[in-house]
Structure 1
Amino acid sequence: MGTKLIIDTDPGVDDALAIALAALSPDVDLLGVTSVFGNVPLDRTTSNARRLLELFGRADVPVAAGAARPLVYSKPRDAKEVHGGDGLSGHSYTLPEATRPLEERDAVRLMLDLLEAADEPVTIAPIGPLTNIAALLAAHPGAAAKIARLVIMGGGVTFGNSTTAAEFNIWSDPESARRVLVEEDVPVVLVPLDLTHRCAVDADWLAKLAASGPIGATLEGLTSTYRQHYTRVFGEDRMVMHDAVAVAEAISPGILHTETYRVDVDCGLGPARGQTLVDRRRLGEDDPQFSPGRPIEVAMDTDLDGLRGFVLDRLTGAAR
C-alpha cells in the first residue's frame, strides 16, 4: 500500500481536513490516530477524531487518547474562539457516532506498538502540540529508528498566531516542541505558518468540496466559525487549512519545497515563549555569531494551486 502513516492530532477544523486527506487517500496506509489536548480539551479532540474516522468509513483505524496537558507548565488558553466550543464550529453533532471503541492503550503505547509491528519505517504527522511525540521519544528512544520522518505542522519563520512571536502548536507546549525539534535526531519537516497561510483556500474551493457529496458537504459544514475567523484575518473570504498542508507532504514527499535551517525553540517565560527561532544566516560553527539549534527541513514554498488541487482531489474522490 502507500505511505505508512500515524497522525497525532487535536481536531480542530484544519485537523478534520488533514485526517480526511489521509483517510480518503488510496495510497495511504493509515495505521492509527492519536489525540492530544490543543484546540479544545482532550476529551473533545478524542471524540472528534473518532467520529471523523467514522464519517470517512475508517472504523478500521484505531484511536488512542494522549496527553491532556503540556509537559511542564499549564496552557493559558485553547483555541475555541477560532474552532468553536466543540472544535468543529459547533457542528460536531453532524458527525456519526463512533462504532469502534477507544483504545485502552494510551497514545504513546499505540504509537510504539504500531512502529514495532511495521515492516518499514513509518511517517508520523504531528499536527497538534508535540507532547505525545516528546513522551514517546523520551520513554522509548529506540522507537526513533522506526520513524521515517516527522512532518510537523507548527511554528513560524517570521510571525506567530497565538502571540506575536509564537504559533499555537509550539506555544501550547514549548518544552515538548524543543525536545522533538532540537534535542532528538529524528528527521523532521517543519511546516510553518508562513507557508500554510499562503495555501489558504477560497469560497469557490469550499463550494466544490461541499458539492462533492455527503462527506464533502459535512466537512464544509464544520468550517463556519473557523472560516469567519480567517475572513477577519485576511479581510476577505479565505480559510487556512494548516494541518492538511503538512499531511499533504507526509503523503506526497516533495510536494512542499524545503530549506535546511537551524531551528531552536524559546522556552522562556517572556513574550517570545514558544517562538521557533529559524536561523537563515547559514553561519559556520566557527562563526562567533553561530546559533544553537538543530538543522531541520523547513517547508518554505510549494505550487500553491497544485497543493490546493491535490487536497481537493483527495477529499472529493477525484483521485480515486
Structure 2
Amino acid sequence: MTYNVLMFADPGIDDSFAIMYALLNPKINLVGIVSGYGNTPKEQSIRNTAYLLNLGGREDIPIIAGAAGPLSGELVRYYPEIHGQEGLGPIKPPDNIQNVKVYDINKILEIVAQYKNNIIIVSVGRLTELALLFILYGNQALKDVSAFYIMGGAFLVPGNISAEAEANFFVDPIASNTVMEKAHNIYLHPLNITNKALISPEVIQFLGENSPTPFRPLIVPAFDYYYKAYQKNIPGIKGAPLHDVVPLMALTEPDLVKYIPRRVRVEEFGTAKGKSIADFRPRPDKEPPESIDNIGMDADFQKFTVNFMEIFLKGDFNKR
C-alpha cells in the first residue's frame, strides 16, 4: 500500500532525515512539504527543504511556506548547538538552487482536495500552520484528511525544552491545543517513544559508506553534529534519537507503535506551558468519541533500526 503524505516540517537535522526517509520509502508518495519556523527561521527551513528535494531530483514536490512564528507572537529561540547555524549541522546548502517555486498556505487545501479522503498529514514540526488552517477556514477545513500523524508531546516522562514540555508543543502551545482539539483521527508520537528511537553512529557510518542514494554525503556529517549535541546533554547516550522519522515509519509499518486511546489537551499558559495532558487512570473520565486521540506509548525499536537501514539502502530513490 502507498500512502499519500503531506508533511509539515522545520528542517532541522532530524526533520531532514525524516524528509529523506519519506523520499526514499516506496510506501510513501510525498505530495507536498510545508516548511516553517522551528529548528531554523522560516526562510532557512524553506531553503533546506528545497536543497533536499533538489538532491533527490524531486523538484516536482510542492514547497508551501509556513509560519514565521507562533500564534502568541512571542520571539522564537533557535538551537544552533543542536542543528547547526543553517539547520543541517556543518552542511551549508548551495546558493545556486534556482527556480524554487514556493506556494502559499492555500496550496494545502488544493492538495487535500486533490487526494480527498486518501491523504495523511504527517507533522514533525511546530503546529502553527495546522492550527492556522482551522482558524482561517473553520473546523471542517481538513475534514477530507484521513489521519494526522504528529510528533509532539511528552507523557509521564520529562520534557526536552522544559521540565514538562516537548519542543513542538512548548513553542506554540495555543496552536498545539487547537490541533489536538480540532483535528480528527490523530496518532500522536511523544517523547515517550521517540526518545528511544536511537540510531547508533555505527549504523550511520555503515549507511555513509553503502547508501546508494544521493543523500549519502549528508548522512554522516549531519548525524555526527546532532549526536555530539546529544552526548553533551545526555552523557553516555549510545546514539541519537531521530524523533521525526517515527511517525512516518509508524504510518508505513503499522505494527511498529502501540497506542492507547485518550483525549489529549495542551496547557497553553503559565509554568506548565506546553505540557501535554491525558487521563491515564484505569477508568478515565468519559469523553466524546470524536475527541479521542491515539497516544503512542511503546514501540519496537529494533524494528525501527532495521527499517531505517533498509530504506536508506534502497536505490529506487527517484520515484514519482
Does the TM-score normalized on the shorter chain lie above 0.5?
yes
Q: Deviations over 1:80-103 (max 9, x none)?
A: 22111111113133x685445232
Q: Is the 8 A contact 2:10 2:36 kept in 1?
A: yes
Partner of 2:178 in structure 1?
179
Q: 1:32 to 1:18 in 2, by over 3 A?
A: same
Partner of 1:90 in structure 2?
90
Q: Is the 8 A contact 2:90 2:221 kept in 1?
A: no
2: CA distance between counterparts of 1:81 and 1:16? 16
Partner of 2:164 in structure 1?
165
Which has the higher mean CA deviation after the structures are superposed, 162-171 or 251-260? 251-260
Partner of 1:130 in structure 2?
127
> TM-score, structure 1 length as denominator?
0.90
Partner of 2:250 in structure 1?
249
Q: What is the identity, as a one-letter code, of the residue corresponding to 2:246?
A: V
Q: Is the 8 A contact 2:226 2:240 kept in 1?
A: yes
Partner of 2:12 in structure 1?
12
Q: What is the identity, as a one-letter code, of the residue corresponding to 2:266?
A: V
Whether 1:303 and 2:300 are equivalent positions in the alignment is: yes
Q: Is the 8 A contact 2:9 2:33 kept in 1?
A: yes
Alignment of 1:64-75 (within 5 A): 64-75=64-75
2: CA distance between counterparts of 1:97 and 1:58? 16
Partner of 1:37 in structure 2?
37
Q: Is the 8 A contact 2:12 2:88 kept in 1?
A: yes
Q: 1:276 to 1:59 in 2, by over 3 A?
A: same
1: CA distance between counterparts of 2:146 and 2:296? 17
Q: What is the identity, as a one-letter code, of the residue corresponding to 1:186?
A: H
1: CA distance between counterparts of 2:98 and 2:256? 34
Partner of 1:21 in structure 2?
21
Partner of 1:280 in structure 2?
280
1: CA distance between counterparts of 2:257 and 2:75? 31
2: CA distance between counterparts of 1:262 and 1:146? 21
Match of 2:195 among 179, 194, 197: 197
> TM-score, structure 2 length as denominator?
0.90
User: Per-residue deviation at 1:27?
Assistant: 2.1
Unaligned runs of 5+ residues in structure 2 are none
Q: 1:308 to 1:136 in 2, by over 3 A?
A: same
Partner of 1:58 in structure 2?
58
2: CA distance between counterparts of 1:85 and 1:167? 22
Partner of 1:154 in structure 2?
152
Q: What is the identity, as a one-letter code, of the residue corresponding to 1:144?
A: L
Q: What is the identity, as a one-letter code, of the residue corresponding to 1:168?
A: A
Q: Deviations over 1:118-152 (max 9, x none)?
A: 14431011110000001112222333221111111
Q: 1:30 to 1:19 in 2, by over 3 A?
A: same
User: Per-residue deviation at 1:219?
Assistant: 2.4
Q: Is the 8 A contact 1:38 1:79 kept in 2?
A: no
Which has the higher mean CA deviation after the structures are superposed, 59-68 or 250-259? 250-259
Give the secondary structure class of the aligned counterpart of 1:142.
coil
Q: What is the identity, as a one-letter code, of the residue corresponding to 1:20?
A: M
User: Per-residue deviation at 1:316?
Assistant: 2.0
What is the RMSD computed on CA atoms of the aligned residues? 2.1
User: Per-residue deviation at 1:237?
Assistant: 4.3
Q: Is the 8 A contact 2:124 2:244 kept in 1?
A: yes
Q: What is the identity, as a one-letter code, of the residue corresponding to 2:185?
A: P
Partner of 1:258 in structure 2?
259
Alignment of 1:228-247 (within 5 A): 228-232=228-232, 233-247=234-248
Q: What is the identity, as a one-letter code, of the residue corresponding to 2:299?
A: T
Q: Is the 8 A contact 2:116 2:144 kept in 1?
A: no
Q: Is the 8 A contact 2:46 2:65 kept in 1?
A: yes
Identical-residue share of aligned pairs (%): 27
User: Per-residue deviation at 1:8?
Assistant: 0.5
Q: Is the 8 A contact 1:177 1:265 kept in 2?
A: yes
Q: What is the identity, as a one-letter code, of the residue corresponding to 1:39?
A: N
User: Per-residue deviation at 1:189?
Assistant: 0.7
Q: 1:234 to 1:256 in 2, by over 3 A?
A: farther
Q: What is the number of equivalent residue pairs in this alignment?
A: 310
Q: Is the 8 A contact 1:33 1:62 kept in 2?
A: yes
Moved over 4 A (4+): none
Give the secondary structure class of the aligned counterpart of 2:81.
helix
Q: What is the identity, as a one-letter code, of the residue corresponding to 1:57?
A: G
Q: Is the 8 A contact 1:262 1:280 kept in 2?
A: no
Q: What is the identity, as a one-letter code, of the residue corresponding to 2:64?
A: A
Q: Is the 8 A contact 1:16 1:219 kept in 2?
A: no
Q: 1:83 to 1:296 in 2, by over 3 A?
A: same
Q: What is the identity, as a one-letter code, of the residue corresponding to 1:130?
A: L
Q: 1:159 to 1:7 in 2, by over 3 A?
A: same
